[in-house]
Amino acid sequence: MPRVKIADKPFELHYRLSSPSLRDEANEIDQDKETILFFHPYWTDSFYFYPQFEDPALYEKYNLIAFDAPAHGSTKVLGISSDPVTWAFFASMVKEALINLNVSSVHVIGSTMGCCPAVHFALNYPEMTDCAIMVAPPALQEAPNWSLTFRECMHILINAVRIRDPEPLDAITSVIFDYNATSHCGQAIKDLEEEYMQLIRSNLANGELNSDKTVPILISLALSRKQLLTVEEAVDLKPPVLIIQGTDEGWEEADDQWTKLLSEVNDAYREKHDKESEIKNVILTGMPRWMSLTCPDVLNPLITQFISSKAIHHIPPIPSLPTSGRRPSKSRGSSIGPQSEDKQFIDQIRKESTDVLASQHGREEIRHSGDHGVQIQVEVVMKVE
C-alpha cells in the first residue's frame, strides 16, 4: 500500500496511482504524459474516483493520482499536528508529496468538499497547476439546515469515537451518501456506502479513528469547508478553472451563489485585464453532487474536453432517470481490515471507562454559531475558531 511521508509533519499520505504504461501497477508516473490530480470528498477516500481510474479515455492518456486526506482512508496520522489541519493545509502536503514523487505539474479535480483543497492548490501553486475543475463545490454561504446537519454529525462523531460505538458512524455515512448521491442510485452505490461503513468501523476497531488525533482532524476539515474563493482571489487566479454544478439532490438557492460570484469576477477581471476571465461554469440539469461517482459517462467527457482545450464545446446527453452508478472492476483491496461483528466485542469496548478517556482528552464543547456554522473545541488537542 503506497504512502509518502511528509517531512516535518506527522502524516504518511496514502495514494492511488495509475500510469498509461502500467495502470494500477505503477510506482511512478510516465514522465511523457500529463497528470491528473484528484481531491476526494469529505468522509470518503481516493477509491471514490474509481469511475475515473477505470475510464480508458483517462487512464490510457494521463497519469492519475489521488491522495487520502488526513483521517481518511489509509493515510497514517502518526501524531498531533502543530498546524491546524484544514483543506488548505492538506493541499500544501499534497504539493510536497507530488514533489517527492517527481510530479511537476497537474490538472486538478475536486469533488464537492474536495473542491476546497483543489482551489487552494490552484491558488497557491499556479506553477504546478495546468487547470482546475471543481465538481459541485460547496455553497459559498451555506444553508442553515446543512450547517445544522454538520453540527449534529460532529457531535455524533465525538461521542461515538469516545465510547467506540460504530453504529452512529454508520448513520453519518448514510447521511453523507443520501445528501450527495441519494439512495435512488441503485445497488452499486449502496454497496459502496456499505463498504465505507465497514472501512470506518475497521478504523475505529484498530485505533486509526481515535479521539486524540483523527477526530480533531475530521472536525477541522469540516469547519474549513467554507474556505473557498473570494472575488479578489478569483480575479488573480492564474490557471483556467471550470466549475460544474448539478441541479439534483441538495440543490439549494445557496448554490446560485457561484453564478453570482462568477458574474462579479468577470466584471472585475475585464476591468483589471481588459479581457474575459478564464473561469467557466456549467450547470447540468438533473445531475447530483457526486456526479463523478454516479454519472461518469457525463462527467468524464467534460473533464477530457476542458483539460485538452480549456473550454466546453459539447455536453454529453444527460440521462432522464437517476443513474445506478458503475461497480468497480477491482475491489478496494487490503485497506479494510478484518471486521468484528461479535456482540460481546462491541459490548466490551462500550464498557471501557469514559472517565479515563475524559481525563486524557478533556471535554468537547459544541456550540452553534448561526450562519457562521459550528465552532468546536477539543481541549488540549486542538482549537478551531
β-pairing, 11-18 vs 76-77, is: antiparallel
Which residue, 341, 12, 373, is CA-closest to 202? 341
Average pLDDT over residues 139-154: 84
pLDDT for residue 320 = 66
Would 344 be classed as within a structural domain?
Answer: no
pLDDT for residue 161 = 97
Cα separation, 123 vs 139, in Å, equals 18
What is the separation, in whole angstroms, between the first and last Cα of the chain? 35
Average pLDDT over residues 140-159: 88
Give the model's confidence band at 330: pLDDT under 50 very low, under 70 low, under 90 confident, else very high: confident
Block residue for cell numbers 490538472 = 107
pLDDT for residue 259 = 87
pLDDT for residue 253 = 57
Region for residue 354 given its phi and psi (left: phi exceeds 0; alpha: psi -120 to 50; beta: otherwise): alpha
pLDDT for residue 211 = 96
Task: Quote the DSSP letter at residue 127.
Answer: G
Would 147 be classed as within a structural domain?
Answer: no
C-alpha of 283 from chain center? 20
- Which has the minimum average pLDDT: 26-40, 121-135, 352-366? 352-366
Which residue, 336, 225, 241, is CA-closest to 279? 241
Question: Residue 42: which domain range?
Answer: 3-142+210-309
As to burial, measured by CB atoms within 10 angstroms (0-12 exposed, 13-18 middle, 19+ buried), residue 124 is: middle
User: pLDDT tens, 32-76?
Assistant: 999 999 999 999 999 999 999 999 999 999 999 999 999 999 999
CATH number where 133 lies: 3.40.50.1820
Hey, is 15 helix, strand or coil?
strand
pLDDT for residue 243 = 95
pLDDT for residue 199 = 94
The structure's pTM equals: 0.85
Would 224 be classed as within a structural domain?
Answer: yes
> What's the number of domains the chain is made of?
1
Would 198 be classed as within a structural domain?
Answer: no
Residue 245's H or E segment, with its range, is: strand 241-246
pLDDT for residue 31 = 97
- The more confidently predicted of residues 363 and 289 is 289
Which residue, 145, 93, 118, 139, is CA-closest to 40? 118
C-alpha cell read off for 203: 478504523
Would 214 be classed as within a structural domain?
Answer: yes
pLDDT for residue 190 = 87
- Which has the minimum average pLDDT: 18-27, 174-183, 201-210, 321-330? 321-330
Would 165 be classed as within a structural domain?
Answer: no
Give the model's confidence band at 356: pLDDT under 50 very low, under 70 low, under 90 confident, else very high: very low
Which residue, 66, 91, 137, is CA-closest to 279? 137
pLDDT for residue 247 = 83
pLDDT for residue 250 = 59
Is it the case that residue 20 has pLDDT exceeding 50? yes
As to burial, measured by CB atoms within 10 angstroms (0-12 exposed, 13-18 middle, 19+ buried), residue 83 is: exposed
Residue 14's H or E segment, with its range, is: strand 11-18
Would 368 be classed as within a structural domain?
Answer: no
pLDDT for residue 383 = 37
DSSP string of 107-119, one letter each residue: EEEEEGGGHHHHH
Which residue, 6, 84, 16, is CA-closest to 328? 16
Is it the case that residue 365 has pLDDT exceeding 60? no
Cα separation, 188 vs 157, in Å, equals 26
Is it the case that residue 340 has pLDDT exceeding 60? no
Cα separation, 231 vs 322, in Å, equals 35
Would 163 be classed as within a structural domain?
Answer: no
| Average pLDDT across the chain, whole number | 84
pLDDT for residue 77 = 97
Hey, is 93 helix, strand or coil?
helix
- Which has the minimum average pLDDT: 41-55, 96-110, 230-244, 245-259? 245-259
pLDDT for residue 215 = 97
C-alpha cell read off for 185: 442510485
Rounded percentage of the chain residues whose pLDDT exceeds 70: 82
